[in-house]
Amino acid sequence: MTGYIRFLDKDGYPGIKPPWGTLNAVNLNTGKLLWKVPPGEFEALKKRGIPPTGTQVYGGPVVTKGGLIFVASTQDEKIRAFDKKTGRQLWEAQLPAAGYATPAVYSLQGRQYVVIACGGGKIGSKSGDTYVAFALPG
């Protein structure tokens, strides 16, 4: 297998109607979709006034006991935190390269951290070799 061919439009965006990636919450007892948000966006589309489209997602989210969802697997090289109950975005930070991985959450000496591997390198994005850690407020 040599990979797969993606269907793109003339500008390099996915050739289907957005959203091009979503973060979803499902009630596992009922199967009901609770909320859906499109994490990630393309700066060029944002400048044209196009609402967030989401991007292709290569990695999973992690959920904390306190109800935060961290995800960094979008093409726009950002890590984001969402509210587990509502899907509302609470925070974002720029990364040195895309974090196509699932973040890790850990505690050290009473302080909580989230860390992401910023390797990039997929679907034409720049490659990276950095781990970035953020400390949660005490």
Instruction: Give exposure, 14-45, as e/b (b: 16+ Cβ within 10 Å).
Output: beeebbbbebebeeeeeeeeebebbbbbbeee
pLDDT number for residue 77: 95
Contact 36, 22 (CB under 8 A): yes
pLDDT number for residue 124: 79
Q: What is the CATH number of the domain that holds 35?
A: 2.40.128.630
Please count the structural domains in the chain. 1
Q: Which residues constitute the domain of residue 95?
A: 23-135
Tell me the pLDDT of the chain (138 aa) as tens digits: 566 788 889 998 999 999 999 999 999 999 999 999 999 999 999 999 999 999 988 999 999 999 999 999 999 999 999 999 999 999 999 999 999 999 999 999 989 999 999 999 887 789 999 999 999 776
Residue 8 lies in a domain: no
pLDDT number for residue 32: 97
- Going by the DSSP 8-state scheme, the letter that residue 110 receives in this structure is T
Residue 11 lies in a domain: no
Q: What is the residue whose two structure tokens read 């925070």?
A: 91
pLDDT number for residue 1: 56
Residue 14 lies in a domain: no
pTM greater than the 0.85 cutoff: yes
106 class by beta-carbon count within 10 Å (0-12 exposed, 13-18 middle, 19+ buried): exposed
Residue 94 lies in a domain: yes
Residue 36 lies in a domain: yes
Residue 113 lies in a domain: yes
Residue 6 lies in a domain: no
Contact 75, 56 (CB under 8 A): yes
Residue 3 lies in a domain: no
